[in-house]
Amino acid sequence: MIRRPKHELPIIPTANLVDIAILLIIFYMACSNFLSTSTGRIVPPKAPDLSKIEEPLVIVSIDQAGTLYLQGQVMSGVAALESAVGELLRDKPDDEARRVMFKCDATVSREVYQPALNAIVQAGGLILAVGEKTEQ
Amino acid sequence: MRKKFHMRQLNQDAVPTTSLADMMFLLLIFFIMTTTLTKTTGFITDIPTGMKGQQNTQEKTPTIALHDEKITVNETQAMDMDGLRKYVKGLRLDQRQGEAKVVMIAAEGRVPYQVYYETLALVQNAGGVVAIVSDEEEQK
């Protein structure tokens, strides 16, 4: 009777796997930026020659349905937006602190976005218009 | 007997790390799923505003009017986006000083934000200062 040799399964060393996982977690924690505001669906407008910008503290958004948001909270109208933005920008004399990010869906019509832009300007904000960079 | 007791004591003091890997991988999956590494792109603009009534006092300021179907410059020349790009480039806004840098942008009808944004970006990148022209009725 021929005795077959015992095949042992190869052992994968997993001792250092946790260390690698911890390193990856640290990387993701350092690099991630979570959504600070929740809004409806926004498809940003596209334009060439856009530069990378730092996100400011004040964020105004308009979604596809035309709903106006300030810091993720629904605004009742442009008058409310102007006073709320003015309140947030109060005692902020330097340009960097007065920056207001304006995120608007590309399909929204003039009647919606222009009063919102005017309200930000009237409140003393410096508009930081967000878009998607395209090749020329 | 004494040696056996000592071994048991050692085992109890050790921190259990068997489930650490599972926890780490759960966290890792969470971060991979939620992280957005893309940087925000756009442009910064300090927009001065003006009413339509005030527009007459600034005769020399170029005015770009965005309509539903076309773009007009200074209420006469009708052009498309490529034509507007050439026109703005021809203005040489980066070489101008002070108020001469100002370009007024007026939107009429239901112009989508895409067209408005492209125009704003165009003027801004050419070194100009954008001024929004808005209806007096809207301001009220």
Q: A94 CA to chain B: closest CA distance, Å? A: 13
CA distance B107 to B66: 5
Between A48-57, A74-83, A106-115, B122-131, the lowest mean confidence (pLDDT) is in A48-57
Contact with chain B for residue A99, Cβ under 8 A: yes
The reply to whether residue B113 touches residue A31, judged by beta carbons under 8 angstroms, is no
pLDDT at residue B114 in the model: 92
Query: B49-139 has which fold?
Result: Nucleotidyltransferase; domain 5 (3.30.420)
The reply to whether residue A32 touches residue B45, judged by beta carbons under 8 angstroms, is no
Q: Is the pLDDT of residue A71 over 80?
A: yes
The reply to whether residue A52 touches residue B39, judged by beta carbons under 8 angstroms, is yes
Query: Are A59 and A99 contacting, i.e. CB atoms less than 8 angstroms apart?
Result: no
Q: Which of B94, B113, B135 to mutate to test the interface with A (most CBs of A within 10 A)?
A: B113
Q: Tell me the residues of chain A between 33 and 52 that have a Cβ less than 8 Å away from chain B.
A: 33-35, 45-52
Residues of B with CB under 8 A from a CB of A: 17, 20-21, 24-25, 27-28, 31-32, 34-37, 39-49, 107-114, 116-118, 120-122, 125, 132, 134, 138-139
How far is CA B108 from each of CA A39, B129, B133, rounded to the nearest angstrom? Answer: 27, 20, 10
CATH of region A46-133, choose from 3.90.280.10, 3.30.420.270, 3.10.129.10, 3.40.50.620 = 3.30.420.270
User: Which chain B residue lies closest to A98 (C-alpha atoms)?
Assistant: B46
pLDDT at residue A80 in the model: 93
Between A92-96, A131-135, B54-58, B105-109, the lowest mean confidence (pLDDT) is in B54-58
Q: Mean pLDDT over residues B84-113, rounded? A: 85
| Nearest CA-CA partner of B104 in B62, B135, B56 | B62
CB contacts, 8 Å: B48 with chain A: 121
Q: Tell me the residues of chain A between 55 and 94 that have a Cβ less than 8 Å away from chain B.
A: 55, 62
Q: Tell me the residues of chain A between 3 and 32 that have a Cβ less than 8 Å away from chain B.
A: 14, 17-18, 21-22, 24-25, 28-29, 31-32
Q: Which letter does DSSP use for residue B93 in this model?
A: G
The reply to whether residue A107 touches residue B114, judged by beta carbons under 8 angstroms, is yes
H helical segments located in chain B: 2-13, 20-34, 81-91, 113-125, 136-139
Give the count of beta carbons closer than 10 Å to the beta carbon of residue A110.
21
Q: B33 CA to chain A: closest CA distance, Å? A: 10
CATH 3.30.420 in chain B: give the residue spans: 49-139
Provide the residue ranges of all domains of chain A, joining segments of one domain with +.
Answer: 46-133
% chain A with pLDDT above 90: 24
Cβ neighbourhood burial of B50 (10 Å; 0-12, 13-18, 19+): middle
Q: Return the amino acid letter for B63.
A: T
3-class SS letters over A76-117? CCHHHHHHHHHHHCCCCCCCCCCEEEEEECCCCCHHHHHHHH
| Statement: the pTM of the whole predicted model exceeds 0.80 | no
Cβ neighbourhood burial of B106 (10 Å; 0-12, 13-18, 19+): buried
How far is CA B64 from each of CA A130, A135, B45, B73, B77, rounded to the nearest angstrom? Answer: 21, 24, 17, 5, 10
SS3 B138: helix
Return the biggest CA–CA distance within chain B.
105
Q: Is the dihedral of CA B123, B124, B128, B129 positive or negative?
A: positive
Between A56-60, B49-53, B129-133, the lowest mean confidence (pLDDT) is in B49-53
Q: B63 CA to chain A: closest CA distance, Å? A: 17
Q: Return the amino acid letter for B44.
A: I
Give the count of beta carbons closer than 10 Å to the beta carbon of residue A108.
25
* Tens-place pLDDT, residues B15-39: 777 788 888 889 888 888 887 776 7
